[in-house]
Amino acid sequence: MPKQKALIAGATGVVGRNLLKHLLDIGGWEITALSRRKPDLQGAYEHISVDLMDASQCRASLGHLTDVTHIFFAAVTTDALAMAPALVSKNLTLLRNVVETMEPIAADLQHIHFMQGTKWYGSHLGPFKTPAREDDPRHMPPNFYYNQWDYMVERQKGKSWNYSSARPHAISGFAIGNPSNLTMVLAIYATISKELGLPLCHPGTPGNYQALYQCTDSGLLARAMVWMATTPHCANQAFNITNGDLIRWENLWPKIARHFNMEAGARRHISLVKTMADKGSVWEDIVRKHGLRPIAYKDIVLWPYGDFVFTPGYDVVSNLGKLRQFGFHEYVDTEQMFFRLWDDMRREKIIPPVH
């Protein structure tokens, strides 16, 4: 098998970290991970601390990577929950700096995979056509996904390399300081509620409690990304990718409460940003009491993502027909995914054991 070398941009986020873990687990890849801080994973990979917003720093830091064959771009600005015009420029710059640094020097470059999401369909703006398909019309911009896609389409013309893009929703897995991590939002919200002697109340709107929703396991996403990047007929394509099932919080919430050994309380629509703002001292007490890893409250969870998830009162559903037709058939049970990830976090001393 020809040598394959992966460059992962954004290697400490929930996407990049779990992709790095997957490539280390399967072997057969040389890996360079790009991020400001070193990923909390052991293994044979090179880490480069680099500011991807700085083009000159990218050229200086990455100039020796002439043997990269696959670029996995999972970097995003920390405030990318929004799609403001200023973020369009920032996120396009991140991608351009990586591509325009690597393309001229990586003679054997084969593929660039870059991450998108369901906000391509306007899921952040209000009700949208569901199940969403990859060829659905765009919504009114701004949307940095559109700018990144158009840039890649134009950049690839006449080149020997190709590209692909994944469009997941509600990525779930472990990563510190990641804004789009539903698993951590739920775990920390439940843990603090329990510490305060409260039942576990769904914090969203009535419509949100009953709407159809979908999630994407970070391990499943990592496997799909590698499949897209190494399957020839996936060239220059975008794919919706989710676990393959659907949930309603009204059905899952009592099971989540039982998993944390809690009572499920009445649904209450609250702002997690406002309600959880003063709970840092509670979290510090929990960490000391249970001997958890000393991860700062501001780094372990970002509550704006919780409000983003639990406010909309409409279905969020993507069509997976294209993904299946092209040959990717993996499925993850979302209920079991949550329980597995939280058990993993307990073993890693991220959250307390159930008691």
Report the pLDDT value the prediction gives residue 70, as an integer from 0 to 100: 98
Q: Is the pLDDT assigned to residue 31 strictly greater than 80? A: yes
How much of the chain exceeds pLDDT 90, in percent? 92
| Active-site residue flag, 194 | no
Q: What is the pLDDT of residues 156-195, one digit of tens each?
A: 999 999 999 999 999 999 887 665 689 999 999 999 999 9
Determine which one of 119, 279, 297, 305 is catalytic: 119
For residue 145, indicate whether it is catalytic: yes
116 with 82: CB under 8 angstroms? no
Ordered by start, the domain boundaries in the chain are 4-170+216-241, 176-214+246-316+332-347
User: Does position 14 have pLDDT exceeding 80, yes or no?
Assistant: yes
What are the pLDDT digits (tens) for 95-119? 999 999 999 999 999 999 999 999 9
Section 140-146 average pLDDT:
96
Q: What is the pLDDT of residue 180?
A: 66
Q: What are the tens digits of pLDDT across the range 254-263?
A: 999 999 999 9
Burial 40-63 (b: 16+ CB within 10 A, else e): eeeeebebbebebeeeeebeebbe
Say yes or no to pLDDT of 271 above 90: yes
Per-residue pLDDT, 79: 65
Residue 78 pLDDT greater than 80, yes or no: no
DSSP, residue by residue, 178-212: -SS-HHHHHHHHHHHHHHTT--B---S-HHHHHS-
Nearest to 127 by CA among 139, 143, 117: 139
Cα separation, 326 vs 20, whole angstroms: 24
Q: In whole angstroms, what is the distance from residue 146 CA to residue 164 CA?
A: 14
Q: Where are the beta strands (DSSP E) in 111-268?
A: 111-115, 162-168, 171-172, 216-217, 237-241
Q: Token pair of 187, please?
A: 């775990």
Query: Which is catalytic among the residues 21, 45, 121, 145?
Result: 145
Average pLDDT, the chain: 95
Which stretches does DSSP call E strand in the chain? 4-9, 29-34, 46-48, 70-73, 111-115, 162-168, 171-172, 216-217, 237-241
Q: What is the mean pLDDT of residues 6-16?
A: 96
Whole-number Å distance between alpha carbons of 229 and 114: 10
What is residue 136's DSSP assignment?
Answer: S
| pLDDT of 181 | 84
> What is the pLDDT averaged over residues 22-46?
96
Please state which of the ranges 75-89, 125-139, 183-197, 245-259 shows the lowest mean pLDDT. 75-89
Separation between Cα atoms, residue 247 and residue 258, nearest integer Å: 17
Indicate the CATH number of 4-170+216-241 among 3.40.190.10, 3.60.15.10, 3.40.640.10, 3.40.50.720. Answer: 3.40.50.720
Q: Which residue has the higher pLDDT, 180 or 308?
A: 308
**What pLDDT is stored for residue 77 in this prediction?**
86
| pTM across the whole model | 0.96
Give the pLDDT mean for 21-48.
Answer: 96
222 beta partners: none
